């Protein structure tokens, strides 16, 4: 019985890892990454001593849910006047979640 449980756990992990890997190859993920690279990195690096990733990794981060992540992307879009469409905001949030936040759907 323990062996069956171990096999089941490994199977679930393989499926989960495979799904995450597939998402990182998706068009929304790549579009989100491109927008972050183009429009977010420089500002975040200035705010965090040259380390833009620290924005997402800091212990006192404000974003704690997927909804808050999307709201923060929308706030940045509005405040900086980037003019992203809603789907582009979603692509950015997807990329940031997969790379940094790791929220489950």
**Contact by Cβ (8 Å): 41, 35:** no
Q: Which residues contact 36 (CB under 8 A, 6 or more apart)?
A: 92, 95, 96
| Residue 86, pLDDT above cutoff 80 | yes
pTM above 0.85, yes or no: no
Residue 10 confidence (pLDDT):
44
Query: How far apart, in whole angstroms, are the C-alpha atoms of residue 77 and residue 48?
Result: 19
pLDDT at 12 exceeding the cut of 50: no
On the CB side of 48, CA atoms within 13 Å amount to: 15
Residue 3 has pLDDT above 70, yes or no: no
Quote the tokens at residue 48: 């965090």
Separation between Cα atoms, residue 69 and residue 11, nearest integer Å? 30
Q: What percent of the chain has a predicted confidence (pLDDT) above 90? A: 52
The 10s digit of each residue's pLDDT in 37-85 is: 999 999 899 988 898 988 888 888 889 999 999 999 999 999 999 999 9
Q: Quick one: tokens of 74?
A: 């929308």
């Amino acid at each position: 019985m323990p062996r069956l449980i171990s096999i089941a756990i490994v199977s679930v992990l393989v499926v989960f890892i495979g799904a995450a890997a597939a998402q990182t190859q998706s068009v929304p993920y790549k579009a989100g990454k491109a927008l972050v690279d183009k429009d977010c990195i420089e500002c975040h690096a200035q705010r965090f001593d040259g380390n833009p990733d620290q924005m997402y990794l800091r212990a006192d981060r404000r974003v704690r849910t997927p909804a808050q992540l999307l709201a923060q992307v929308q706030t940045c879009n509005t405040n900086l006047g980037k003019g992203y469409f809603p789907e582009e905001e979603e692509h950015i949030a997807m990329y940031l979640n997969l790379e940094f936040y790791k929220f489950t759907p």
